[in-house]
Amino acid sequence: MKKLVVARHGQYGHDDRLNETGRDQVAGLAKKLEAHINSDSVLLLTSPVDRARESAEIIGSYFGVGLEEHEVLWSENDHPEDFPRALELVKSRQGDVDIIILMTHFEYVEHFPAYFAKKELEVELRCRLIEKGEAWVVDCEQKSLIHVA
């Protein structure tokens, strides 16, 4: 795997589905990610929650790839993140593709890229909170982190 993209879903309404702003955010993110996704070998993994799955569908449609839902990528108040299991998911699939995109939630985009970099690349990368419809790109070859907003 050359790159890991960890993206945050778009803005959503009370029904937990993307609203118009959220759809626009994710469509804009897809266009911006094009500069970082320079391979036909892409895997898109998503949280099963509506707002994340709908965001992943937009990204997948833009890049012409399907998506896989994985419960481990969902985190909320009573459903905490599980970085070790998420890492195992990524590791189990990294030999299959050049780029893995994770469409997930607040907790994962804030901390998982640094966790991944420390465990897999043996480097310290600083992450910070990003807004809905933004992403981190971990360049595994350069051992660097890029904020895509």
Neighbours of 55 (CB within 10 A): 32
pLDDT above 90 for 12: yes
Q: How far is CA 89 from CA 66, 121, 130, in A?
A: 17, 16, 23
Q: What are phi and psi of 22, to 5 degrees?
A: -60, -40
Say how far apart CA 72 and CA 100 lie, in whole Å. Answer: 15
Q: How far is CA 94 from CA 2, 20, 43, in A?
A: 9, 33, 9
CB of 3 within 8 A of CB of 121? no
Q: How confident is the model at residue 38 (pLDDT cuts 50, 70, 90)?
A: confident
The structural domains of the chain, with segments of one domain joined by +, span: 3-148
The mean per-residue pLDDT over the stretch 99-126 comes to 95
Q: Average model confidence (pLDDT) for the chain?
A: 95
Q: Could you tell me how many residues make up the chain? A: 149
What is the percent of the chain with per-residue pLDDT over 90, rounded to a whole number?
89
CATH code linked to domain 3-148:
3.40.50.1240
**Strands of the 144-148 sheet, one edge to the other:** 67-69, 42-46, 99-104, 3-8, 135-139, 144-148
Question: Which DSSP string corresponds to 47-87?
Answer: -SSHHHHHHHHHHHHHHT--EEE-GGG--BTTB---HHHHH
pLDDT, one tens digit per residue, over 59-112 is 999 999 999 999 999 987 777 889 999 999 999 999 989 999 999 999 999 999
Task: Give the pLDDT of residue 147.
Answer: 96
Q: How confident is the model at residue 127 (pLDDT cuts 50, 70, 90)?
A: confident
Task: Give the pLDDT of residue 85.
Answer: 97
The mean per-residue pLDDT over the stretch 10-39 comes to 96
Neighbours of 31 (CB within 10 A): 9
Q: How confident is the model at residue 146 (pLDDT cuts 50, 70, 90)?
A: very high
